[in-house]
Every structure is written in structure tokens, then in C-alpha cells.
Chains A and B, each alone.
Chain A
Amino acid sequence: MMASASIVTPSEPGLFERLKVNRNWLGFWFMVPAMIFLLFFLAWPLLLGMWMSMTDMRIGRGGSFVGFENYQFLLDDRDFLRATAFTLTYTAVASVFKFAIGLYLAILLNNNMPFKAFIRAIVLIPFIVPTVLSAVAFWWIFDTQFSIFTWLLQQWGFLGKDQFINWLGDPFLAQCSVIFANIWRGIPFIAITLLAGLQTVSPSLYEAATLDGATGWQRFRFVTYPLLTPIIAVVMTFSVLFTFTDFQLIWAMTRGGPVNATHLMATLSYQRGILGGRLGEGAAIATAMVPFLLAAIMISWFGLQRRKWQQGENND
């Protein structure tokens, strides 16, 4: 192709002409649309947000450059520090529970049972219901006076008729309540994805293990778990990212209350940036999430990289 092109054109083709037809560059040209898309819709807003976090911009008018003033203020801001601590706790606690219960559910669902497809579909329900709807349901479930939990405890005699549990009114209970709601919502995603992973494990491996006299636990530990690791890594990365950046659930249930106890960094950023009108400060809070998210991605990325399958080889 190159040769024929140089024969037809009498003069030496320009650099761009050559790059246009160069096979090595072809891949790059194909990537260009996607790159433009990413630049405009991901990189540009991210950079804009970072720039905003260094200004005192307010809604409705531009700001001037203030350097790291917003970050300095936040480092000394009790609500921000609490929100950061709670975001980490929220992510850690919810992820651990989601993983444990999700894996357990996946293994259960992997068994042969009647109405298999139907039951698997049902498990997905918490994930399908729009977050805001389920959050509003939880808002009722955890209502101080009308909570179904309180009502049940009263019916069973654990609580007096006039005793109530201040689910969303007590800072600690409110934190537990929103974590509970997040776990409930997040389990199906993990369970169904891990189930898909489980189904790729060849039955012959289990047969071989059984012939060698492996117990149920050993089959899980030495056959299922190693083969599932890549999927676990991917699923948990996503789960951690989703949980860390959660917004809707908190916003619909508590709006960050009581007394800012359930603010996540994302909700605090919205509260300060959009409701409070201090875009710069809001952007700084949002930008402060980036290092945590990068760390989460790095951990799973390096964790994955050690695996040979990623380089196109088989696992040992």
C-alpha cells in the first residue's frame, strides 16, 4: 500500500499524508473519537473541577484564584473531617458486608434448585428498583414513630408501647441505618456478577478435586476462590467506587443529617457547592475524593497485574 502510494504520487508525500496510511498509526486514528469523547466529558470536567477548587467561585459569578485556601479551610473543618471519616467507614463496612453476603448468595444460587431462573431474577430486585425509591422506603422503615422495626419490637414485647428507637435522629443509629440500606442495595450486583464467575468454573475441576478427596471447604478454597479472584477484584473495585461516591441514598434518606453525621464527601460537596452556593469549596471537597478513588483503583490494578491471565497466559 505504501509502495503503491509512493509510485502514484510524483513528489514525496508529507508527514501527515504518510501518517494517514501508516498501519502503525491506524490504531491511533481509530482511537481518536473515543479519546475526544473522554477528553470532553471526563478529563475536561475533572480539570475544571480542580481549577474551581482553587478559586472562590460562587454560583452566578466567577471567582478569583485563591490557591489552596479552600483546602486549608477544609483541613480544619470538623464537618469535612467527619464526612471524610464517615465516607471511609461507610465504604469499608458496606463493602465487607456486601462482599461476604454477595459471595454467599452467589454460591447458594449456583446450586441446582427448582425455579432457578426465577429466584435469580428476584435477587436482582434491590438493584433494579431506582435508588431514590428504595431510599424513600428506607426513610419510612427507619422513621422514628412509624418504623416497622420499632413496631415489630413493640409487638414482640422488647419495647414498651411508648418507646421508640430514634433511627435517623441519633447520629450513630443514622449512620448504621444508611449503611444497612447501602448493603441491601449493593448485594445483588455482587451476587449476580460472582454467580456469572462461578458458572465459568469448569465442573471437571470439581470432579478432580472430589476424586482427590477434597472437602467442601477445600474445594472452595483451592478451586473456586483462585478462579474467582479476577472477577472478585473487578467487582469489588466497582463496588468500592460506587459506595465511595454514593449520593442518592444519603440524600433521599437523611440529607446528611442528623447534625451532619451521615454526610458523605459527595453529599457535603453538593450541600456546600450547590445549596450553599460556594462552588469553590464544593469543588474542593469533590476533588479531595480523587486521591481516595485513585488509591482504590491502583490497589486493584496492581493486584490484577500480577496475574498472568492479564498478559494472555493461563493461570498456573
Chain B
Amino acid sequence: MTNFNRRSLIKGGAALGALTASGLGEWAKAWAQAAPWKPEPGAALNVMRWRRFVVAEDEAFNKLVAAFTQATGVRVSMTSESFDDMQPKASVAANTGTGPDIFWGLYSTPHLFPQRCVDVSDVADYLGKKYGGWVSVAEAYGKLGNKWIAIPVAINGGYINYRISHIKAAGFNEVPQTTAGFLELCKALKARNTLAGFPLGRASGDGNAYAYWLLWSHNAAQVDENSKVIIRSAETEAALNYAKALYDTFIQGTVAWNDASNNRLFLSGELSLTANGISIYAAANASNDAKQKEIAADMDHAFWPIGPAGKPTEIQLCFPMFAMTYTKFPNASKAFMAFLLEAENFNPWLEAAAGYLTHTLNAFDNNPIWTKDPKNAVFRDAAKRSLVAGHRGKLDERAATAMADFIVIDMFANYCTGRETAAGAMQLAERQLQRIYR
């Protein structure tokens, strides 16, 4: 039981005083008065977000949530779920019409049930005008037609993570920026038994990033502009053969990897090159362990190499925030989203995320996080370089389904493991895609 005595009351009062006296508190109150979205009387929000990977990011986020509650009186209760569970939870909520008011989810989840998402066009227009406009990938993820169904809060950039000393020992000063050169690097790493590895398993983040990069860098795609399935092509076959050549240089077990596997192996020192967000570096940096510190000092990041397509073909993880139409408090929900992205709030949050989150509003290019550490620099451009899920086709529920169903990852895994021929792997993927895109 909590005992309120004079001392604890004084302490509590002092803390409250400190919070209201702080800049954030005052500013937040003023913001709430001026903001066009007035929360419904007695509004309370249930918000579900993906479970944090960077502790400081989560803490900064929770601070913003507390400030929002203070300024508007809207109680916000937060829950978090692992990456893999976000989409099923949101889907079930959409289907049953009950659950959290706001989801902060992954990729194109809102496009799985666009008609269940609150129209947030006013919030997106307000933020876009104020902060230098949205990057194009953000518009693609947030909008359906002319209507914004989600606020693309941030992008999580995934790039090549490598051990500096290992690629030097293999005869390279940097990660080659062509697919051909990249294969040579992986072969040289294999010869020295310092191995590369990319996930070909059930890894919705890292696995899809790798598989779609393979596909798009070779000028292949799952569908064309008219959403016609074109996966069975000479370009895809070239991508498959390239993937197989890479796979032969990999560390064992990549077909069984989930999103956490490469982090674990890289931090244990067994893996020399992989693709990941900045979380490996952040974890190694934050650790007190000498071995982890050494890995942090000996690692750096590089862009995904460019293939025959001749331009960056990255797919980066988008974190859209969307409110559900069943919510009783759409205005409070909109106010919450707008509040998070105001510069006074978003800048410190972005900084706390240590590169894990990349902004989608152009004005945040100047955030100090991108210049503070040169190893962060590549992540600044994640949102600008990223293509969207679906690529040439529309970003709609079909693109989201193809991704959630691991169709492209499985195609590569089927061929790399020798379970299917190139034709067989493409045919399997084609059949499933045709069903999704019918």
C-alpha cells in the first residue's frame, strides 16, 4: 500500500512543479490551446506500439506521452507488442471493431484495412506545410488515393553493417557499391572465414529488406504498374542466381533466421557483415562489456549496393501511426499524432533514438544526430532512398499481403537451399502472387 505522508507529498508536489515549470510542459500547454484538434471531453486513448529496440527512444517517447496528457488532460495508456505481433493484433482489432484507439505499426499495415482507418489528412497537411513537406515514401505509406489514412511517423533505416577490420583483412577499404563488387567482398570474407549473412527465414523486417533489394536491384519486380504479376522473368532469374552465389558465402543457418538472429550473431563476433538497422551499433555502444565496445569501434555502416537497376533499390521499414474508425476519440487521436511530430517534441525524440528512427519530414534533416557520429550518417537518407512496398505496383493491401506472407523471401530461400529450381521457385511465387493480385 502506498502511504502518503507529508514528506512524500512534498516530494510529489516538487516533481509536479518541476514538470510544469519545464519548457516542455509550458510549451505543450500552449500548443494544446492553439491546436486545431480539441480532444473530446473525458477522452482517453489506448495506444499500441511496436516494442522498442532502443531504450532511450522509448523513454523519450514516454516523456512526450506524459507531456501530452499534462497539456490536454487526455489519459494515454500504452502497450507494446513485438514487431511480429503488431500486424496480427491490428488486423484482429480492425476485424472485430474493438481494441486500441491508435496503433503505431509497421510497413503498410494500415493498407490491409484502409476503410478502418481514421482520415488524418488534416494532420498530415498541417505537419507537411509546417515542416518542409513529406518525403515521397512517406506519402506513399500514409496515403490511399488523396486521403491520408496514417501518419508515417518515421522510417527505420536498414543498411549494411560490417566489421571494419574484417573487410580490410579481406582486401577492401569499403563496402563496394555495386552488386558485383559486393559479391566479391562476400567471397573474400568467406575465404578468411569471417562470414557474411542475410536472413532468408521468417524475418519480416530484415528478411523482406534483403529479399526485395535482391529483386529490385536486378530490375525485377513482383508486379508492374498495372498490378500484373511479372515475377517470372529473366531479371528475377538473374536475381535468383546472384542470391545463390551470395548464399554460398554465408554463415550457416540463415534460412532459420528471424529478425533478432543477425543482431545476436554480429554482437557475438561470429558474423562480419549483415544488413540491419542501427540497433546493433547502438546496443554495442551502450554496453559496458569490453568485447561489445570493441565491436562498436570496429563496425561501420554502408548503403545497399546498386545493381543492374542503376539506382538505390532499398526497402526501408516504415512506422505508420493510425487511428481506428471505431475509436470514440478521433480528435484526441489526431491531436496526439500532431503533437508527437512537432519540432519541439520530435527533435529530442529523434536524437534519443540514436539513428534508429529516420524522419519523414524534410525539416528534420538538420537534427544533430546525423552529424554527431559519422557512423550514423547513412541512416539520415533512409527515407529519401527507400522505395515502397509493391514498388512499381500500388502500395495497397495486396502489396502488404505479399510481404506479410514472405512470398519473395521464400522464393529466394527455395532456390538458395536447392529445394526448388529457379523456374520452380518463380512459379510458386507467381502462383501465390496471382492469387493475391487477382
**Which residues of A are in contact with B by a Cβ distance under 8 Å?**
58-61, 73, 77-79, 143-146, 162, 164, 166-171, 174, 254-261, 271-272, 274-279
Contacts and interface: CB of A to CB of B under 8 A. Distances in A.
Contact of B112 (A146, A171, A256, A277): A277
Contacts of B400: 277
Interface stretch (B214-222, B249-257, B297-305, B337-345): B249-257
Interface string B424-438: 000010010001100
Contacts of B252: 144-145, 164, 166, 169
A272 B88 CA distance: 11
B78 interface: no
Interface string B83-121: 000011001101100000000000000001101100000
Contact of B256 (A77, A78, A169, A277): A169
Given A59-B112, A59-B113, A257-B201, A145 B193 contact: no
B417 A258 contact: yes
Interface of B: 87-88, 91-92, 94-95, 112-113, 115-116, 193, 200-202, 251-256, 258, 265, 268, 270, 397, 400-401, 404-405, 410, 413-414, 417, 419, 428, 431, 435-436
23 contacts: A59-B92, A59-B113, A60-B91, A61-B113, A61-B115, A144-B251, A144-B252, A145-B265, A145-B268, A162-B193, A164-B252, A166-B253, A166-B256, A170-B255, A174-B256, A254-B202, A255-B258, A257-B202, A258-B200, A259-B255, A260-B410, A271-B405, A277-B91
CB-based closest 7 A-B pairs: A144-B253, A60-B113, A168-B256, A258-B255, A255-B202, A169-B256, A169-B253
B88 A274 contact: yes
Contacts of B87: 275
Contacts, number: 100
B129 to A, nearest CB: 31
Nearest to A276: B405
**Which of A254, A258, A259, A271 gathers the greatest number of chain B CB atoms within 10 Å?**
A259
A73 B436 CA distance: 12
Nearest to B412: A259
Contact of B255 (A61, A145, A164, A257): A257
A258 B256 contact: yes
Contact of A169 (B91, B115, B254, B397): B254
Nearest to A143: B253
Residues of A contacting B: mostly: loop
A73 B434 CA distance: 11
Contact of B413 (A146, A259, A278, A279): A259
A168 B435 contact: no
B320 to A, nearest CB: 15
Nearest to B91: A59
Given A58-B397, A59-B95, A60-B91, A272 B256 contact: no
Contacts of A171: 417, 419
Contact of B115 (A60, A78, A164, A174): A60
Contact of B435 (A59, A73, A255, A256): A73
B249 to A, nearest CB: 15
Nearest to A73: B435
Contacts of A169: 201, 252-256
Contacts of B258: 255
A170 B255 CA distance: 8
Contacts of B254: 169
A170 B419 CA distance: 10
Nearest to B207: A257
Contacts of B113: 59-61
A171 B397 CA distance: 30
A277 B268 CA distance: 37
Nearest to A261: B419
A274 B90 CA distance: 10
